[in-house]
Amino acid sequence: MQHRLELLSSDREVNFRSSVDGNIGEYRLRFANGKQVAFGDFVSRRNGIIRHDINASALLGCNMDCALLCVSAKQPVTILTDEQLVQQVSAALLQRNAELPSDTLRAVGFLGEGEPAANRSNILTAVRRLADSDFAVDHVVLSTTGWQYENFIPALQQTAVEIGRSGFLRLQFSLFHMDQKTRQQYIPGTQPWTEMVSVLDQFAEHAHFPVRYNVPLVQGVNDDEAHLQHLADFSAKNHSGRCIKLSSFNAPSGGQLCPVPTQQFEGISQMMRERGATVKVFIADQAVTTDGVLLHVNCGKVHAGIEHAISDVLEGARTYS
């Protein structure tokens, strides 16, 4: 039974603000039971294609302690139901659909705060609901650090097979660095990523879409030629299943990490492609609201309003370590 978009518009309150150009949006969605979730979206117009990317929150709070994100420490985690996950998507579609043509490419990302695997059951139910809806969503992306990958990734694979639409369910893996010791420094609490490669390759084969290994480029950390060569070699060994996603890095305020200038991305990506790698480049979008607030998107994650979202974590939160 299809879920109709208009039937999901009641029993909630939506606050929306956007950048001056209207391309980047920030949402505050409050449900009748008092739950509030912050999420965002952005509209892009490139190469004749209009895209509407909805970056839904997989949960509230953060169970990680990642040096790359704007949340500085672990936070209590509140689980969102599958209905609350789908409601975020419907709110963004209802906000944008009137202004966008019917052939707009609509994509949904469940990317966290925290690790989406912490809300595995509800997220997979939401993915199935989106696949069986009239929302006209082209694909859904789930991002993972590999936390509890032994259970999470096979469950995603089974869901992709059940849905039966090639490329509908896609996976992004937060790689950052090929060296496990360095990766562990910036993304603590994760298992050695090399242990996960065979499982990730299997997902790509069954989902009929390559896993995107996300590498936000940071000066002096992962942008040296030897590391870029290592990335290229890794992708070239399975170019149909392993895509290196080079992302611009929006540093957290007060942080010491510096992004690689975006002017260098074309040369880096070209070099890696010449060495046999499959490469996607993502340059962060950013703009200001009419009241001067900076909204920016990096690797599908909206960095606006996070402190407020964390402060609204609800009673009865379940905490993960």
Structure tokens of 63?
A: 């169970």
Domain-located, residue 270: no
For 2, the token pair is 């299809």
Q: Which residues in 210-311 belong to E strands, given as ranges?
A: 211-216, 242-247, 278-282, 285-288, 294-298, 301-302
88 within some domain: yes
Assigned domain for 259 exists: no
Find the mean pLDDT for residues 139-154. 93
Tell me which amino acid residue 280 is.
K
Nearest residue to 52 (alpha-carbon basis) of 106, 9, 89: 106
| pLDDT at 46 exceeding the cut of 60 | yes
Tokens of 235: 């992708």
Question: Tell me: the pLDDT tens digits for 134-143?
Answer: 899 999 999 9
On whether the CB atoms of residues 214 and 173 are closer than 8 A, the answer is yes
Tell whether 170 is covered by a domain. yes
Report pLDDT for 89: 94
pLDDT of 235 > 60? The answer is yes
Percentage of the chain exceeding pLDDT 90: 50
Mean pLDDT, rounded, for 181-199: 91
Query: Is residue 80 in some structural domain?
Result: yes
Element (H, E) at 16: strand 12-18
Average pLDDT over residues 257-282: 92
pLDDT for the residue numbered 1 = 46
**How open is the CA angle 181-244-177, to the nearest 5 degrees?**
10
Q: What is the pLDDT of residues 74-106, one digit of tens each?
A: 556 788 899 999 999 999 999 999 899 999 999
Task: Give the CATH number of the domain where residue 72 resides.
Answer: 3.20.20.70
Domain boundaries, position 107: 5-214+293-311
* Amino acid occupying residue 308: H
23-32, 210-219, 242-251, 289-298: which is most confident: 210-219
Max Cα-Cα span within the chain = 54
Most confident of the following: 100-114, 266-280, 290-304: 266-280
**97 domain residue, yes or no:** yes
Query: 87 and 29 in contact (C-beta within 8 Å)?
Result: yes
pTM of the model: 0.86
Is residue 290 classed as helix, strand or coil in its secondary structure?
coil
The DSSP secondary structure of 139-183, one letter per residue, reads EEEEEE--TTHHHHHHHHHHHHHHH--TTSEEEEEE---SSHHHH
β-bridge mates for residue 171, sequence order: 142
Total domains in the fold of the chain? 1
* DSSP state string for 61-120: S-S---TTSS--S---BEEPPHHHHHHHHHHHHHHHGGGS-TT-EEEEEE--SS-GGGGH
Q: Which span out of 36-50, 80-94, 111-125, 278-292 was modeled with the highest average pLDDT?
A: 80-94
Q: What is the mean pLDDT of the chain?
A: 82
Q: pLDDT for 236-265, tens place per residue?
A: 999 899 999 998 887 655 567 888 988 899
CB atoms within 10 A of CB 89: 25
Q: How far is residue 276 CA from its own chain's centroid?
A: 26
Residue 140 vs residue 116, higher pLDDT: 140
For residue 196, is it within any domain?
A: yes
On whether residue 147 sits in a domain, the answer given is: yes
End-to-end CA distance of the chain: 38
| pLDDT recorded at residue 62 | 65
